Structure 1
Amino acid sequence: MNNMEKRNQTAFPGFLLLGLTEDPKLQPVLVSLFFSIYLVTIFGNMLIVLISISDSHLHTPMYLLLSNLSLNDICLSTSTIPKMLVNIQENIQSITYKGCLTQMNFVLIFGGMENCLLAVMAYDRYVAICHPLRYTVIMEPCFCILLILLSLLISIVDSLMHSLMVLRLPFCTHLEIPSFFCELPKMLKLACSDTLIDNILIYISSCIFAGIPLSGIVFSYIHIMSSILRMSSSEGKHKAFTTCGSHLSVVFLFYGTGFGVYITSIIMDSSRKTAVASVMYSVVPQMLNPFIYSLRNRDMKDTMRKFFSRIASVL
């Protein structure tokens, strides 16, 4: 292959995002549905952040990490949903090469950040339950901020590695992405060169950047469960389970939907069905996380009640 042919392969205007359905009757329904989901995601997560900031009793490592998780959920949803709504509303499917690469980057960064933050939050619960007397010493604010920044750095490095990998790939003429956003695996399938090495790198990086945080979560909860079972007080056990319940629910939701999409992509032949499945891990957890934390957390519910009471008194 000569240089001219390579230039012709890579000099394309962009990709086509096929979305979730081709049925024009369903397009208005999708706009209404995803616009509502986006508003609920933004409002719910911003409420968590505002409540955590407004009440001095919630100025603890747990709520600092929760606030950052909420901000990350807002960013992750914003990286996919608005573009999809614009495409449906204006009846266009195109996205530029740079736009697609940028969107893929943001999805990888904020998806990886969510993965790391859940591991850090599991460690926070481990210290709180297994080493309660040393909790304030270990989980001091500077250390928490350092863990958050480290999570961001790891996510950026992972995203940059995948971006450099995609940049060196030549793309041919079949540029249709069967999804509503630019997903890395689906972009690799459009390359007109051998992607074996690229796929191997994805599996290796997934084992490192996703496997290690997941292992940390499992390790933390093994020790947490062991400590809870050794407690003599039933009240102490209930309090410990309540403390971990919200985080465990979010962990199961995030990893459960992620594994579900992976299994669906293997079993199902239809690219449309896998696109619908992608909604489960890229949209749904970010919308439900605020409800899980606000409904299962007594401190959060009490503070939320006071917060809305203050707003009502001002109005």
Structure 2
Amino acid sequence: MIITLEELEKATNNFDKARELGGGGHGTVYKGILSDLHVVAIKKPKMVVQKEIDEFINEVAILSQINHRNVVKLYGCCLETEVPMLVYEFISNGTLYDHLHIEGPRSLSWDDRLRIAIETAKSLAYLHSMALIPIIHRDIKSSNILLDDTLIAKVADFGASRYIPLDKSGLTTMVQGTLGYLDPMYFYTGRLTEKSDIYSFGVMLIELMTRKKPFSYMASEDGLVAHFVTLFAEGNLSQILDPQVLNESGNTIEEIATIAVACVKLRGEERPTMRQVELRLEGVQSPDEHVMAVVGEFEANGIDRSSLLTRDERSTEGLTRQYSMEEECILSSRYPR
């Protein structure tokens, strides 16, 4: 749907600062009310550069093909400005990052965190395998997960996303993403596959369990992932888990931690698929309903179930050695190439 600049100016009271929802280096997002009374979010770029135009074209092309309850919907666009503006459905409740990292000892309940993780996993499994052409999001992080009034998750920001050619397993690109969430193997090789999204999702799972900000660990000796994996291998997760999660999660936290560690394995081919992650997370919520589905999914894809670790399969020495390379990546990522 093409929307005129005049309509957007009226909808936002000439892009009044009071209508700002947020923004960053690339642009500002405004709340607007269109003439048909639809409440929308309008992304207005700050600068005229080719990269912004390319990302606009990319996002329109991708979102116009996606129809999933956990992906933000593109309502229309305005082509009258040098860099076109995108108009989305208005998601009223901020980002997962906003809710998770509030001041004070309590944040989202564990049940809500687990459900949001499952909804995000469902959307990524859809993008990777159910969309007309498979799509890699390339920037999964808590600030790109929007929440509505009932805390339903909506994956947003597809400007960096890429199609996976049907005849290929991945593609080579200039590295793009967010430090702390970025797949180390993608960082080193430039080779992008859907397993890069799975790594980023694993980091977000760790963030949900710990309420630690992945990028804030970049200046410390160990990254959040390396620290979490080491404590997991040693059986000392209580040292890093959010106390609220310890109180509310019961016996589910062990399984979620196991899934997260599988997602952030250094070698992409050793990580599960997003569909396997979705099934395993749902199995934590409703164990009896999903056990056979998980087993069937693994067997159908020829995947060894050990790709999702159990406590008996842990090896402190092996995990620590594996993450020595990631620690090197964390250090080198302070000086991006």
TM-score by length of 1: 0.29
Whose helix proportion is higher, 1 or 2?
Answer: 1
TM-score by length of 2: 0.27
Q: Rg bigger for which structure? A: 1
